[in-house]
Structure 1
Amino acid sequence: MYQHFIRLSLMALLFVLAVHPASAQDEEKTPEKAEQEKGKKKGGFKDYADLITKDAITDDGLFKVHQVDEKYYYEIPFSLLDQDMLLVSRISKIAPGLGGGYVNAGSKTNEQLIRWKRMNNNIHLKAVSYNSVANDSLPIYISVQDNNYQPIIMAFKIEGFNPDSSAALIEVSDLFLTDVTAISGLSDRLRKAYKVKSLDKKRSFISRMSSYPENVEVRHDMTFSASEPPANSRTGTISLEMSQSMYLLPEQPMQARLFDKRVGWFTMRQIDYGSEALKADQKTYIRRWKLVPKDPAAYARGELVEPVKPIIYYLDPATPKKWRPYFKQGIEDWQVAFEAAGFKNAIIAREAPTDDPDWSPEDARYSTVRYVASTTRNAVGPSVSDPRSGEIIESDIIWYHNHLRSYRNRYLLETGAANPSARTLNTPEAEIGEMMRRVISHEVGHALGLPHNMKASYAYPTDSLRSASFTQKWGLAATIMDYTRYNYVAQPEDKGVRWVRMLGPYDNYAINWGYRYIPGADSPEAEKTTLNQWISDKAGDPMYLFGSGNPYDPSSQTECVGDDPILASTYGLKNLKIVAPNLARWTTTDGEGYEDLEELYGELLGVWSRFSSHVVANIGGVYERFKTTDEEGVTYQHLDKAEQEEALDFLLENVFTTPEWLLQPEIISNISASGSIDRIRSLQTRQINNLLREDRLKRMVENEALNRTKAYTMTTMMKDLRAGLWSEVAKKEPIDAFRRNLQRSHVARLEKLMKDDQAERSDISAVVRAELKAIQRLAKNAAGQYKEGIVQYHLQDIDAMVETILHPLPVGTK
């Protein structure tokens, strides 16, 4: 009976299906809905073939990347989840004027350690920090992890898996097409400056995505709406092309080397909570390439040994052929320094292969020197380093084409008086090549881990730079990492001297200190005794001092040469006084305009100003010598009174008097209708403001408090300055337009000092008030002694200016 019922039911069902071949639900299904459901698997994942279609553009490397129409996918192997990677964000193409000249194409905007991490059916991109660390065997490790929870940059839904289920597919388009702060090219400062509103997704796009064995590269355009863009204001738009470089870091970090500030290195910092110190111990490590000897036994015997993996730089194919030999020399000049560290052939220059279609300068396995067609006058030596250990992974030196012009101009201005071959706009090719070689060496030095060392020029006696034998052997400074570009000290009678910088003894010393392999030292702490001994061996020798450059130390000034800034600037000005009257003849060409002359004249004024700044640094100056507690002497020492007095005498004679030698009629009458007075005023005002900096005056006050009779006091300096700047008034001599401007600038600077010091009411206020009163008396008493005219009016105006400063009208008074 039951079986009979079943047969009847099946017959009825078949009858219904015959009449209605599709269910009501099937009738409502659209073609689009059917396509969406096609390929769906358990868990909502799609089939690989439906995601990565036959039309996909795929690139395989660290992991596969895919472009399917306007969608971009990462195919991330599960083996790479939770692996440390480094994400470096750079601006690859920049809007004109963005950053006011301090940001260029190639500028790094962020560098962060990241990990890809699976969370259920999502992949998270997380930012990781090694700023706080502890050994994972210690109990405090748990607390370090809990108090340094990793932020999520972006979460991605897993769309599907590759055929063998060893990798997850995620669509990453939104990472590059939305305004993700972690990889943006615009900082908060720039957003505020240009009143950026938002990223316009419709005008943003991914232009390229490539995968290499050790890194993934993405190029994407970001277009922002802005009320006040730096250029093309009517568009209300800022567009950038961003470069995102993601590097796989070594599974086992290189052993780090502890930093010592007595030797200059780029660094990275960690706070070690597992340290035995009774505090959270901040440790600083240097940034360097990993060099390990192929033959440790031979290395230990003191033989030169090749490294397992040398540092290799490839020349950009865009580099003009005539400059390539100089670029190669600039790179391989560092081989001598590495030999001091026990390595031979440690750094090698090669031309990029033109017959290998797979070779790319963006491949992290290759470091390059790129030649960029740009009007930027600069060269840079950035590098990418592992934040866990300081190991430099890769580096791209960038040479901007117009940097040649900067060096030609400086060569003419600073050496032309004594160097006949510099007296032209067409500098001989070999000499330009030599300059380029040394610039490349300087930038490679940065990429090796070395910062600027501005104290290196102070290692050499100033008069020794006039000696051919000395300069040809030792160069112009103890390191190529100083900004000692040219020998502006040598005089016309000095023959055979070296004009251009080169590597020096400090370079060998620093590379040995940072790169020498120390057998048996299996931790950073185990190396410390040896490293300290190497520094102690050179203690007291100025060739091995380090100073990064600061405004208060006259022995650590940028662009300076020699150990006596006053003498060096005296020689430099003597040369400029030869260059100035010849500048028009050396820089003009028949049939051409005066644009080159105008450019060179502007730079000539800049050189004069720079020489002046070097001398200003002596006043209120403090020598800085980094020391450890076991060394003799002090770290900070004020300059002698006599040195400071000599510096002010130089300024009064050479800077604050009217520089008639700069006012060359042949130049002035051909470059502009007016402006000479304003140019000189600007330069002299800059030095007045520099001399009367608040921090400088405070150092003088402190020096007087500590050293009393040995100090050059702020009061004395102010009186000496007033006597010099207002000497015509005391002598009832004519005061020219340049001098009148300088006197107004003097009063204006005193006014600013008084206003800035109102809250503190320090000794600065007291001395400034007394100075203003003295100037007012001087001007008031002298005004009637001059005949009616501009000088009398000027002195009357000074009287009124000071009166307003000392007795301002109440707020709201008209």
Structure 2
Amino acid sequence: MRLRSMPFAVAGLAIAACSPAKKPTAAPTPANRPAANAAPNQPPAPGQPTPGQPAPGQPPAGLPNIPGLAGALGGAAEPNPRPYATVITPRARSKQGVFAVHQVGSRLFFEIPAAQQGKDFLVTTVLAGTSDAINGSLYGPERVIRFERRDNRILVREATYLNVASDSTQQSRQAMNLISFFPIVATLNVEAYGKDSAAVVEVTRMFTGGVPEFTARGRRATVDANRSFIDKFSAFPRNVNVTAVQTYTAAPGGGIPGLPIPGLGGATGNATTESYTFSLVRLPDEPMMPRLSDRRVGYFVTPKRDFGSNEQRVVSRDYIKRWRLECSDQKVGALCVPKKPITYYVDPATPSYLKPFIRAGIEEWQEAFEAAGFAKGIVAADAPGDNPEFSGEDASVTMIRWLPSPTANAQGPSLVDPRTGEILDADVQMYHNILDLQREWYFSQVGHLDKRAQRFPFPDTLMGRLVQFVVAHEVGHTLGFRHNFKGSSMYPLDSIRSRSWVTKMGHSPSIMDYARFNYVAQPEDNLPLETLVPKVGPYDKFATMWGYAPIAAARTPEAELPKLDEWARMQDSIPWYRFSDDASAGQADPGEQTEAVGDADAVRASTLGFKNLARIMKLVEPASTADKTKDFSLLKETYDGVIGQWALEANHVTKIIGGVDRQEKRVSQSGPVWTPVPRARQKTAMKFLNDEVFTTPTYLTDLSILRKLESDGNIGRVAGAQARVLSSLVSNARLQRLIELEATAGSTASVYSLGEMLTDLRRGLWKEIYAGRPVDAYRRRLQTTYLEAMASKIKPAAPSAQDIALAQFFGPIVNTRDFRPLLKDEMRTLDRELAAAIGRTGDRATRAHLQDARDQIEAMLDTGK
């Protein structure tokens, strides 16, 4: 009989026909002996029945005494604690840690002592096995739970720490009680009591689908308990791990229409079986003193809403995420030795030749922690080979994990105490195909400078150095650091071509930037090859000092603020200490770029980069066809990578148009936060786009390569790269910003207006019609793309459900009403010029194209001609 499948109306089913079990006749034991003087209306002592409840060992009224019934029903039946030995039988597999864990057959029990009841446990979910290649994060939902005893039940509550009250008066505490009532995610009947009133509860269903909050994929998937089970478990002094096999299907209506369910493997909507390790980590008894965040320095944060502030409003108070580093009594010179250094283990599954480079990527941060006052504040270690319980899935083990995945990426998530922002654990996830991505980037950016990169595959020493760079970047995330997209624009362009500068400072001040390899460097610069690769830089050392250096005199987060502000104001005189975060990337500031080097002057940087790409094009075929037994797939991938690099560098220039430079400030600093880019700089950028980007880059077209790859398609390849740049240039957000900058300018003479920008763009894109020259196929495609972009703004389609959903993540949809009149006027002007040009051309393809362009303009303007 499968009692688990019958959670309701049990008494009326077949159970009623079973013979009741006999009453036990054994004398009471200390574990179930009634208390002599139990006070009325109070919770009973461990093992004592509540009034009207059967004595220990007896079934509730009307139900037979079937072992495990309460656990199978998930709390539906009345609690019925039994003698300990009848629940945790001699065949139980038991482990003792922060609390005891027992497995009896397929059932799992927690034995939770009184000392651990009411305490906070952070629950994490980590992928432990899948039938598919890993294509996303290893991590599922996280939550904080408490085990609270109420009579003979354990309530599993989910605790949240978003709301705080900095004012600790009695009135504030009373008000906070209204929003500190935590939900119950599960109710577990006490099966027995162990030593010191430890409550023994069955938790099987928490990990096999009976509790939606413990589903690894969240509420967007349904777990089939009949195809799920407990695989293994471990117990440690600070945490308990349970590995469960879960079989699930997508829940109806889950996800955004048309988009797959974000998950950790398997196909959308199909039954999938995967293994997950749940870690229940006891939060520290003494919370670390938090450090308040500052937008001028780039840390991930734990958000709070302060209802006790004296500012007469609800105040956001964010704590930075950081490890707890405390000084011991030992010193190394002026540096203190930490009581417990941050230790990262190297995954035993890592390819052997890469392990030394991974260790080097970890310990590259040691110099940054010296800036914070710590000697060897971070160290690398090999996984112990003699400990079978040691695992990267353990929440007490920080590891650089090497994962079999075709995803060309790496990630650096961390586990954080939500009360304080203290990082408790982290795992850098290195997906195997990151090797392919590093090869492509390094070759297409600096392959002309490094002979080792001019033949595939790269030698192990070169690939190892590239992996070291990725590890150092991802370790930075697990130390609490956000991307710093400001960094690459804070060095003067000429400096990153200087041998002495890059040797000391690197080509970007932050390894947390997306400044990959120094594609600005020219062969005549003679830079050491080591300086082409990013390293932990001056900003990283400054940010580590700002977040980790102890402030001895401060006893509260508020008391640290004057010193933190003093440190942050160093950015006024040292620009490479400045920061911008992910949220501003792709917005107004042309110095906040991804995949950029030298974007202090993106026009000159891209000019130099294009010269290098012309050199690299000559290396594409020999590098990717060295192995004569292979097909041309690597040649295609390499060629496409060079085209993609060209589009990236070209796109960096578009941000200058309508750009506004930003320096994040606080009230203690003078001057504006936002400063519009001068008109002359914008005009120069537009000229570069017309001359170097929208003019067909013939040096990217190599017939020897093309004839090995395809019968056709290069027009689409090149025009597609140009279209990326054009789309960015005429994005709704940029056009709207140009309108606003003109409206708020003190002098219109200093403004690069939208009207002027559109005129310059038209004259550049359609320059053939003014010179009376034929329009070639590449330019015809680009001009058609321009007209399609204009039509989408003059007559925009209604946003789809997916557009609306994505706007929640990428910002609101910009209405075109403010700039639509200018676009229509621009199309009328172009139409007149096209009409005049048609009569001057003798090229049939050009004439047909120009007439088609007029037809498109007529359709978008609804002129009715």
TM-score by length of 2: 0.84
How far the C-alpha of 1:239 sits from its partner, in A, is 4.2
Q: What are the equivalent positions in structure 2 for 1:468-547 lying under 5 Å apart? A: 468-497=499-528, 498-547=531-580
> Counterpart in 1 of 2:366?
335
Residues 204-223 of structure 1 aligned to structure 2 (within 5 Å): 204-223=228-247
Q: What is the match of residue 611 of structure 1?
A: 649
CA contact (8 A) 1:757 1:764 kept: no
Of 541, 555, 567 in structure 1, the residue corresponding to residue 591 of structure 2 is 555
Question: 1:160 aligns to what?
Answer: 192
Specify whether residues 783 and 220 from structure 1 end up closer, same or farther in structure 2 by C-alpha distance, changes over 3 A only. farther
Residue 203 (str. 1) matches residue 243 (str. 2): no
* 1:424-482 CA distance string (max 9 Å, x none): 21323222222222221111111111111111111211122222222111111111111
Out of 805, 821, 826, the residue aligned to residue 766 of structure 1 is 821
Q: Do 2:328 and 2:338's aligned partners in 1 also have CA atoms closer than 8 Å?
A: yes
Partner in structure 2 of residue 323 of structure 1 = 354
Matched, 1:272 2:274: no
Alpha-carbon contact 2:145-2:158 (below 8 Å) kept: yes
In structure 2, do the counterparts of structure 1 residues 30 and 477 end up closer, same or farther at CA, with 3 Å as the change threshold?
same
Call closer, same or farther: CA 1:805–1:90 in 2, change over 3 Å.
Answer: farther
Amino acid at match of 1:291: L
Whether contact under 8 Å (1:92, 1:105) holds in the other structure is no
Q: 1:661-810 residue pairs with structure 2 within 5 A?
A: 661-707=699-745, 708-756=748-796, 762-787=817-842, 789-807=844-862
Deviations 1:123-142 (A, max 9, x none): 12111111111265531212
Alpha-carbon distance in structure 1 between the residues aligned to 2:834 and 2:672: 45
1:41 partnered with 2:45: no
TM-superposed deviation, 1:308:
1.3
Measured in 1, the distance between the counterparts of 2:581 and 2:280 equals 31
Separation of aligned partners in 1, 2:23 and 2:516: 66
Matches within 5 A, 1:33-72: 33-34=20-21, 41=57, 44-72=80-108
Q: Which moved more, 1:524-533 or 1:458-467?
A: 458-467
1:55 Cα deviation (Å)?
Answer: 2.7
CA deviation vs aligned residue, 1:463-518 (integer Å, no higher than 9, x gap): 22222222111111111111112010111222133211111111221111111111
Instruction: Indicate if the aligned counterparts of 2:133 and 2:404 stay in contact, CA closer than 8 A.
Output: no
Q: Does 1:104 align with 2:140?
A: no
Q: Output the CA distance in 1 between the equivalents of 2:838 and 2:20.
A: 94
Structure ID, larger Rg: 1
Q: Which whole-Å CA distance do the structure 2 matches of 1:38 and 1:746 have between them?
A: 90
CA distance in 1 between counterparts of 2:475 and 2:246 reads 31
- Other-structure match for 2:174: 142
Contact 1:93 1:105 (8 Å CA) reproduced: no
Report the equivalent of 2:684: 646
1:574 counterpart residue number: 611
Deviation of residue 186 (structure 1)?
A: 3.8
- The residue matched to 1:126 in structure 2 has which SS? strand
Give the equivalent residue in structure 2 for 1:349. Answer: 380
Change (3 A) 1:492 1:634: same
The CA RMSD measured in Å over matched residues stands at 2.7
Distance 2:269 2:819 in 1: 49
Structure 2: unaligned runs, 5 residues or longer: 1-14, 27-55, 59-78, 253-257, 799-813
Q: Are 1:417 and 1:491, in contact at CA under 8 Å, matched by a contact in 2?
A: no
Q: What amino acid maps onto 2:860 in structure 1?
A: I
- SS of the aligned residue for 1:472 comes to helix
Q: Is residue 754–residue 769 contact of structure 1 (8 Å, CA) maintained in 2?
A: yes
Q: Distance in 1 between matches of 2:752 and 2:677?
A: 9
Cα distance, 1:789–1:207 mapped onto 2, change above 3 Å: farther
SS at match of 2:323: coil
Shift of 1:724: 0.8
CA contact (8 A) 1:331 1:444 kept: yes
Query: Aligned equivalents of 1:559 and 1:717: distance in 2?
Result: 26
Q: Which amino acid aligns with 1:263?
A: V
Matched letter for residue 546 of structure 1? F
Q: Tell me the distance in 1 between the aligned counterparts of 2:570 and 2:99.
A: 50
Q: CA deviation at 1:51?
A: 2.2
Q: Distance in 1 between matches of 2:815 and 2:638?
A: 44
Q: Aligned partners of 1:740 and 1:374: how far apart in 2?
A: 41
When structure 1 is superposed on structure 2, of 535-544 and 199-208 the one drifting more is: 199-208
Opposite residue 820 of structure 2, the aligned amino acid is: S
| Cα distance in 2 for residues equivalent to 1:38 and 1:800 | 97
Q: 1:38, 1:145 → 2: CA distance? A: 47
Taking the aligned partners of 2:168 and 2:268, their CA distance within structure 1 comes to: 57
Q: 1:180 to 1:788 in 2, by over 3 A?
A: farther
Other-structure match for 1:388: 419
Alpha-carbon deviations, 1:198-224, whole Å to 9, x = none?
Answer: 443333333333222211223334333
- Are residues 293 and 233 of structure 1, via their aligned partners in 2, closer, same or farther at CA, if it must alter by over 3 Å? closer
Q: Which segment drifts farther, 565-574 or 139-148?
A: 139-148
Instruction: Quote how far apart the aligned CAs of 1:757 are.
Output: 9.8
Give the count of matched residue pairs: 767
What is residue 805 of structure 2 aligned with on the other side?
A: none
Aligned to 1:79: 115
* Cα offsets for 1:531-579 (capped at 9, x unmatched): 1112224423211101125222111101111221111111111111111
- The answer for the alignment partner of 2:320 in structure 1 is 286
User: Using the alignment, how far apart are the partners of 1:29 and 1:385 within structure 2?
Assistant: 50
1:123 to 130, 154, 157: 154
Paired amino acid for 1:556: E
| Change beyond 3 A, Cα 1:274–1:784 | same
SS in 2 for 1:742: helix
Partners of 1:522 and 1:747 lie apart in 2 by 63
1:358-391 superposed Cα distances (whole Å, 9 cap, x missing partner): 4333333321111222222222221111111111
Query: Does 2:450 correspond to 1:463?
Result: no
Indicate whether 1:262 and 2:296 are aligned.
yes
Identity of aligned residues (%): 35
Between the aligned partners of 2:286 and 2:266, the Cα distance in structure 1 is 49
Cα distance change, pair 283–729 in 1 and its aligned pair in 2 (3 A): same
Cα displacement string for residues 78-121 of structure 1 (whole angstroms, at most 9, x for unaligned residues): 211110121123444567599xxxx6141x33222221112222
Q: For residue 695 of structure 2, what is the amino acid of its counterpart?
A: T
Contact 1:338 1:346 in 2 (8 A): yes
Compared with structure 1, are the counterparts of its residues 788 and 36 closer, same or farther at alpha carbon in structure 2 (3 Å cutoff)? farther
C-alpha distance after superposition, 1:52-93 (max 9, x if no partner): 233333232222222222222222222111101211234445
User: What is the deviation of 1:776?
Assistant: 2.4
Letter of the 1:53 counterpart: T
d(CA) in 1 for partners of 2:629 and 2:837? Answer: 53
- Which amino acid in structure 1 is aligned with residue 755 of structure 2? T
Amino acid at match of 2:569: S
The answer to whether the 8 A contact 2:234-2:389 is kept is no
Secondary structure of the equivalent of 1:763?
A: coil
Distance 1:320 1:38 in 2: 63
SS in 1 for 2:276: strand
**What is the one-letter code of the residue matched to 2:852?**
D
What secondary structure, in the 3-state scheme, does the structure 1 residue paired with 2:396 have? coil
